[in-house]
Amino acid sequence: MANPLFDTLFGKHDGNDAVFLHLPDGRTITYAAFLKMTAQYAGLLCALGLKPGDRLAVQVAKSPQALAVYAACAQAGIVFLPLNTAYTADEVSYFVENSGAGVLLCDPAKAAALEPVAVACGAVLETLSGEDSGTFRDKAAEMPSAFHTVARSGEDLAAFLYTSGTTGRSKGAMLTQNNLLSNAQVLVEEWRFTSEDVLLHALPIFHTHGLFVASNITLLAGGQMIFLPNFQLDEVIAQLPKATTMMGVPTFYTRLLGDSGFTKDLVQHMRLFVSGSAPLLAETHVQFENRTGQRILERYGMTETNMNTSNPYEGERRAGTVGFALPGVEVKITDSKTGETLPQGEIGEIEVRGPNVFKGYWQMPEKTAEELREDGFFITGDLGQVDADGYISIVGRNKDLIISGGYNIYPKEIELLLDEAENVLESAVIGVPHPDFGECVVGILVAQGDTAPDLEAIGASLGTVLARFKQPKRLIVLPELPRNTMGKVQKKALRDQFADLFSV
């Protein structure tokens, strides 16, 4: 194939007048119309000076046009870099600079704030809104409706996704065409997707789950998507009768269960509900089955690997587990100090290997060497165990990474800001259980002297520099932080102390 990713996911639909996307207002977009838009976008990206292997940074609202930008990057051989729409200009600046993106595509409302970022990084700034307006859209309308697909190999880079650790700056995970395509092909088979499926899509598309799992699977199967801009409870309930499948994060399912309109009759025609990006409480599994008669299928993936494991489509979907390794993917539990494989049932570090595993971290060879072994196994940083039946469970993380609503948050970034706040001596940021988000951020502060920190003012200040999902839901002042004999802050003790902070 000249371009495995584009040809397999998109190119086969050339001239296909079947419906691809259903929009909330009742409009539909066919595969053919989507690919015409894609071709015009690909042509414009090249006209803007991007060449195969160059990076496009994108921070735009979810829309069919935003999805077409991803397709255009695949067709033109450009590396797609989607950014969380909640990121501030300061945060976007790092990603654009670090990636060396030649073009930054943003929402028109953010153009004024991001223009200095683009200028400082030597990038071209273009705009695109969820309502199909902006400079990018206007220029693309003048481009030809056909584009000659750029030849690429399966080992060429297709996307960067930035991920977080507990220290330092975000890392750009380099994903190849084969990484994305192999995973989609496996999941289509494992989850039984066909051209008859209609996927209710309410996930963001700057994240692995919504973009490389939900969208790629639908494209590969030739199905349809009900493409919602975000999760609005009433809208999801209204659209469910038209769908056959749904993918979501635990928050989606807890909110659905909290609405009396979510009934067994409403979803009796549905064949599959998938959950991931954050742990799903066993209680939610039970409540969902009691309400609908169906069991949610939970799986395990991450930015660097897409999906690694899944509960079975046919067979027991065991609550509290993430099922088995996907075909072609190897999962082992190892001693985090020695790297030796542990006996079944013991808790250790999860390592994975397969065609889904990323190529490494952009311009971070030392970090790549730390986490990606020479034999191809990726050290995930998650702790897990395998039970007697082979089901894999995630029991914790080696690092203090916080996952809230499916988004990765590293405490150090927030702690640095808290430590600078007036009347704060030091801080520790932890994740605690939250019924809606899986985990949420809590900041623990120690006062500088006798004057208590102004928690309201600190929270307001954080709101100007941090995306909303990173902002602490609670700030708490303690006399001191718990430490071990070496002086290291004991975050586990803090997590235990405040574990019931948001219990209901």
| Tens digit of each residue's pLDDT (9 = 90 or more) over 389-415 | 999 998 766 767 788 888 878 787 898
Q: What is the per-residue pLDDT for 412? A: 77
Q: What is the per-residue pLDDT for 365? A: 95
Is the predicted pLDDT of residue 296 greater than 80, yes or no? Answer: yes
CA distance 163 to 366: 16
Nearest CA to 429 out of 484, 485, 481, 503 is that of 481
Q: What is the per-residue pLDDT for 18? A: 96
Q: Please report the DSSP string for 95-133 in residue order.
A: HHHHHT-SEEEE-GGGHHHHHHHHHHHT-EEEE--TTS-
On whether the CB atoms of residues 496 and 482 are closer than 8 A, the answer is: no
* Token representation of residue 79: 């590396």
Q: Where are the domains of the chain?
A: 1-8+24-152, 402-497
**Helix segments in 305-454, DSSP class H:** 365-371, 411-419
Q: What is the per-residue pLDDT for 111? A: 97
Q: What is the per-residue pLDDT for 89? A: 94
Name the band, by pLDDT with cuts 50, 70 and 90, for residue 337. confident
Q: Measuring CA to CA, how many Å separate 7 from each of 21, 37, 181?
A: 19, 16, 11
Q: Measuring CA to CA, how many Å separate 112 from each of 62, 108, 125, 127, 133?
A: 20, 8, 10, 11, 16
Query: Mean pLDDT, to the nearest integer, of 166-182?
Result: 86
Lateral strand order in the sheet of 392-397:
330-334, 348-353, 378-386, 392-397
**Is it true that domain 402-497 has CATH number 3.40.50.300?**
no
Question: Hunting for tokens 């599994």 — which residue is that?
Answer: 285
Question: Hunting for tokens 């200095």 — which residue is that?
Answer: 116
Is the predicted pLDDT of residue 128 greater than 90, yes or no? Answer: yes
Of the two residues 490 and 293, the one the predictor is more confident about is 293
Out of 37-51, 163-177, 285-299, 421-435, least confident range: 163-177
Q: Measuring CA to CA, how many Å separate 337 from each of 38, 341, 349, 481, 489?
A: 48, 11, 9, 27, 21
Query: Mean pLDDT, to the nearest integer, of 373-390?
Result: 92
- Per-residue DSSP letter, 489: B
Name the band, by pLDDT with cuts 50, 70 and 90, for residue 165. very low
Q: What is the per-residue pLDDT for 426? A: 86
pTM of the shown model = 0.83
Q: What is the per-residue pLDDT for 283? A: 76
Name the band, by pLDDT with cuts 50, 70 and 90, for residue 106. very high
End-to-end CA distance of the chain: 54
Query: Mean pLDDT, to the nearest integer, of 210-223?
Result: 97
Size of the chain in residues? 504
Query: Mean pLDDT, to the nearest integer, of 167-192?
Result: 92
Is the predicted pLDDT of residue 503 greater than 90, yes or no? Answer: no
Is the predicted pLDDT of residue 484 greater than 90, yes or no? Answer: no
> What is the torsion angle, in degrees rounded to the nearest 10, for the CA atoms of residue 72, residue 56, residue 180 and residue 192?
-50
Q: Please report the DSSP string for 260-319 in residue order.
A: TT--TTTTTT--EEEE-SSPPPHHHHHHHHHHHS---EEEEEETTTEEEEE--SSS---T
SS3 of residue 483 by DSSP = strand
Name the band, by pLDDT with cuts 50, 70 and 90, for residue 59. very high
Amino acid letter for position 170 = S
Q: What is the per-residue pLDDT for 490? A: 83
Q: Which helix (H) or strand (E) holds 235?
A: helix 233-239
Q: What is the per-residue pLDDT for 167? A: 45
Of the two residues 347 and 265, the one the predictor is more confident about is 265
CA distance 108 to 114: 10
Is the predicted pLDDT of residue 369 greater than 60, yes or no? Answer: yes
Is the predicted pLDDT of residue 164 greater than 80, yes or no? Answer: no
Q: What is the Cα 306 distance to its own chain's centre? A: 9
Burial class (CB in 10 A: 0-12, 13-18, 19+), 155: exposed
CA distance 419 to 423: 9
28 phi and psi angles, rounded to 5 deg? -130, 155
On whether the CB atoms of residues 224 and 22 are closer than 8 A, the answer is: yes
CA distance 249 to 406: 7
For the domain made up of 1-8+24-152, give the CATH fold.
Rossmann fold (3.40.50)
Q: What is the per-residue pLDDT for 488? A: 64
Is the predicted pLDDT of residue 486 greater than 50, yes or no? Answer: no
Q: What is the per-residue pLDDT for 368? A: 95
CA distance 194 to 344: 36
Of the two residues 166 and 489, the one the predictor is more confident about is 489
Question: Hunting for tokens 């066993």 — which residue is that?
Answer: 282
Query: Mean pLDDT, to the nearest integer, of 147-165?
Result: 91
Out of 27-41, 319-333, 426-440, least confident range: 426-440
